[in-house]
Amino acid sequence: MGMTITEKILAKASGRESVRAGEIITAKVDLAMIQDALGPIVYKEFRELGVPVWDRDKVFPVIDHSCLPGSVENAVTISETVKFARDYDIPNFYNMQGVSHQIIVETGSVLPGQVAVGTDSHTCTYGAMGAFSTGIGSTEMCAVLATGKLWFKVPETIQVTVAGKLQKYVMSKDIILKLLSMIGANGATYQTLEFSGETIEDMSLESRFTICNMAIEAGAKNGIIKPDKKTYAYMQKQGTEIVDWNGLYSDADAVYVRKIKMDVSDLAPQVAVPFSPANGVDVTEVEGTKLDQIIIGACTNGRIEDIKTAAEIIQGHKIPHAFKCFIVPASNKVYTEAAKKGYLAALSEAGCIIVNPGCGGCGIQMPMAVGEKCLGTHNRNFRGRMGSPESTVFLASPATAAASALKGKITDPRKL
């Protein structure tokens, strides 16, 4: 009996020839990312253990939620993170240089076939590189820092095969929002979402990151896409050591708990209405809904491809008076590239507000008042996620967000 790509990775990491869904294994960890929201808890618990970090080069403390600090509490969080990095001489410390998940992939820090964990639920993003990556809690991270290992239950795998050519201004974000609406917020609890098919193969790595990023919104343990020539090219661009990934694919006789087929040829832009990412509907169902602000960014859609799309739609126009449109590049590198290519200038001239790289509104910035409505490209729209519990958040792609910014209301980008 064959194995899925996730099973192959976990088998190798646990020193076994094979594993099966449901088995409990102990796996070696290749990368441990700690973001600032949980960082202070991790650091306090780890110091109490009184042991050294198992491998300093594999630990990545990142300050991304608290960019820029808006309170004394945030400042303390930053201070404690800096102190940990200094005290333990951690070389890969990123201080307000962007979203952790973007930094990890753009620096070539995660490779196909590796096991990566992070104190953030959207650590599943790295699955687009062909890695097993998942979010963990503070106590688990302490164990990883001390031993370099962690136990896992091998997840069952759902195969998602995507076919069809997307219409103009329909993006990978629309695919994942549609899938979430199909299977629900608990539709893949502690299971792997394995994405494949011609549509996935045609995607850039940036588009694949978006899809794997939101696997957790269905409760998935991880999202994953087998590495291919595009993965190889992305790694070359980052100057990463190329690894041998022969065998990093799911066997023909691998066991799947469920198989889902999607044809996205006629897929309309999707909008997730409050208060769940799984509440996706066609944009036409909510078109015309008045908004107070737009956010284009976050770990889901703050990459150069996303900002380019927004700039192409918005440039030469003006954002409505008294309307807010925030642009949040995912990292300093993305910010610099977007500036060099003129995207930020075009967006700024149109009236957009360019924000420092980081988590932005998905973190602690840009809170809303009672009754306000936001459409954002991030990954969660829970009640109270962005300020007042009486505010509302819609989720959509960068194309839909940019089109909506021009009108001040939810707009179908295909009609521009």
pLDDT digits 0-9 by tens, 170-209: 999 999 999 999 999 999 999 999 999 999 999 999 999 9
Say whether both 292 and 240 belong to one domain: no
- Measured at the CA of 253, the angle between CA 252 and CA 255, to 5 degrees, comes to 120
Q: Are both 259 and 274 inside the same structural domain?
A: no
pLDDT above 70 for 113: yes
Binding site listing for [4Fe-4S] cluster: 299, 359, 362
Task: List, for residues 335-368, the tens digit of each pLDDT value.
Answer: 999 999 999 999 999 999 999 988 777 766 778 8
Segment 294-307 shows an average pLDDT of: 96
Residues 227 and 254 in one domain: yes
21: domain CATH number? 3.30.499.10
In the 8-state DSSP scheme, what is residue 142? Answer: H
Summarize the confidence of residues 24-31 as an average pLDDT: 99
Q: What is the value of pTM for the model shown?
A: 0.97
Mark whether 203 and 314 lie in a shared domain.
no
Shared domain check, 298 and 225 = no
pLDDT at 204: 98
Token pair, residue 9, equals: 């990775």
pLDDT at res. 364: 65
* Residue 188 and residue 86 in one domain: yes
Between the CA of residue 17 and those of 2, 12, 23, 53, what are the distances in Å?
11, 7, 13, 29
351/22 Cα distance (integer angstroms) = 52
3-state helix, strand, coil in the chain (%, to 5): 40, 20, 40
282 and 383 housed in the same domain: yes
Specify whether 35 is located in the same domain as 122: yes
- Bridge partners (DSSP) listed for residue 328: 297
Could you tell me which residue, 366 or 261, shows the higher pLDDT?
261
165 or 77, greater pLDDT: 165
Residue bearing tokens 């169902």: 285
Q: What sign does the CA torsion over 110, 115, 120, 124 have?
A: positive
Range of the domain at 195: 5-263
Are residues 375 and 328 part of one domain? yes
Task: Answer with the one of 224, 245, 263 that is the final residue of a domain.
Answer: 263
Asked if 63 contacts 149 with a C-beta cutoff of 8 angstroms, the reply is no
**Residue tagged 């993003």 (tokens):** 125
Contact 24, 151 (CB under 8 A): yes
Which structure tokens are listed for 305?
């491809």
How many domains does the structure of the chain reveal? 2
Label residue 260 by pLDDT band (50, 70, 90).
very high
Of 263, 289, 315, the residue that ends a domain is 263
Average pLDDT of the segment spanning 370-388: 92
Domain end (from 263, 278, 310): 263
3-state SS class at 359: coil
pLDDT digits (tens, 9 = 90+) for 240-249: 877 776 779 9
Full 3-state SS string of 370-394: CCCEEEECCCCCCCCCCECCCCEEE
275 and 200 in one domain?
A: no
**pLDDT value of position 363:** 60
* Mean of all residue pLDDT scores within the chain: 95
Q: For residue range 121-175, what is the model confidence (pLDDT) as tens digits?
A: 999 999 999 999 999 999 999 999 999 999 999 999 999 999 999 999 999 999 9
Percentage of the chain exceeding pLDDT 70: 99
Predicted pLDDT at 69? 72
Q: What is the dihedral of CA 328, 332, 333, 338, to 10 degrees?
A: 40
